[in-house]
């Protein structure tokens, strides 16, 4: 919990006083004794995660090539190339097995 000095608006720090903990300003003589437990818990809202590959629709209009599936050994796979790193790095090739019962995804 952040508390601010009502005199100079600086953030108050916690220090040990003679009988209890207290909030104290580092630039002026303001002191606030802590008489009870103070806590606040705030959980941030998580951002929605975007599907980098474009979701299921990304595989609708892709070509296939002779690439063996490492899971079911089907001889053909759909593929697409996406620039996942900086421009001076080669593109990443993503594959999806053409066997509709398998549908395994992998990358090169």
**5 with 36, same domain?**
yes
The pLDDT of residue 45 is above 80: yes
**25 annotated as ligand-binding:** yes
**98 annotated as ligand-binding:** no
The alpha helices in the chain, defined as continuous H runs, are none
**5 annotated as ligand-binding:** yes
Evaluate whether residue 17 is within a structural domain.
yes
| The pLDDT of residue 75 | 95
Q: Which pairs from 58-66 meet CB under 8 Å and 24+ separation?
A: 59/96, 62/96, 64/98
**69 annotated as ligand-binding:** yes
CATH number for the domain spanning 26: value is 2.20.25.10
Evaluate whether residue 89 is within a structural domain.
yes
**27 with 62, same domain?**
no
pLDDT tens-digit readout, 79-90: 988 888 888 889
Number of separate domains in the chain: 2
Instruction: Lowest mean pLDDT of 31-40, 58-67, 70-79, 84-93, name the range.
Output: 31-40
Domain that holds residue 36: 1-42
- pTM higher than 0.85 for the full model? no
Rounded to whole angstroms, the Cα distance separating 75 from 65 reads 9
């Amino acid at each position: 919990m952040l508390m601010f000095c009502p005199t100079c608006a600086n953030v108050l720090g916690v220090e040990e006083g003679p009988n209890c903990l207290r909030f104290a300003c580092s630039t002026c003589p303001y002191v606030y004794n802590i008489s009870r437990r103070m806590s606040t818990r705030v959980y941030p809202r998580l951002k929605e995660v975007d599907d980098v590959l474009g979701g299921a629709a990304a595989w609708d209009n892709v070509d296939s090539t002779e690439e063996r599936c490492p899971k079911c050994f089907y001889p053909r796979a759909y593929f697409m190339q996406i620039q996942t790193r900086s421009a001076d790095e080669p593109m990443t090739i993503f594959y999806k097995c053409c066997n509709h019962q398998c549908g395994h995804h992998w990358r090169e």
